Amino acid sequence: MTKVVIDTNVFVSSFFGGKPKQIIDLWKTGEVTLCLSERIVEEYVEVLQRMGLQNEKELKELLAVFARGFNILFTAAPPELKVIKDDPDDDKFVECAVALKCDFIITGDKHLLSVGNYMGICILNPDDFLKCKRKRQNP
């Protein structure tokens, strides 16, 4: 099973369709396992609320899916790492990926993308992740 951390920008963009939605669909169908930490879930919710989704059906459904743990791994105590010097707040995605031995971090964030690979974890944008996933399925 492919384990992924999905950066907030990709997660939120999935509500508008495109490649981010395709990635969330892979999670919903069980083709990837979503890896989360408390800090990541908090950021997802905070950004969605800022966008006006606090009382929306989608947000409630999403939180219910997180609560059920559907295709989700959760780390309660990720390591503290200092990897993203230009945006230390992004370290939470790397910390979660390391703690849960993820295969990928999927992001549109230039600071994370500039790392490329950390401890064997590939950091890719949504398009490159989907291409990589297809190649793995059809070698």
Give the pLDDT score at 2: 94
- Where do the domains of the chain lie, and which CATH numbers do they carry? 2-137 (3.40.50.1010)
pLDDT tens digits in sequence order for the chain, 139 residues long: 899 999 999 998 988 889 999 999 999 888 999 999 999 988 988 888 887 765 567 667 777 777 777 789 999 888 788 888 887 788 999 999 999 999 999 999 999 999 999 999 999 999 999 998 887 766 6
Give the Cα separation of 1 and 18 in Å (integer). Answer: 23
Structure tokens belonging to residue 89: 């707040």
Q: Is the dihedral of CA 84, 90, 91, 96 positive or negative?
A: negative
Give the pLDDT score at 51: 79
Give the pLDDT score at 56: 64
Structure tokens belonging to residue 11: 């997660």
Give the pLDDT score at 127: 96
DSSP symbol at 36: E
Q: Which helix (H) or strand (E) holds 35?
A: strand 32-37
Decide: helix, strand or coil at residue 127: helix
Give the pLDDT score at 88: 73
Q: 37: which strand partners?
A: 75
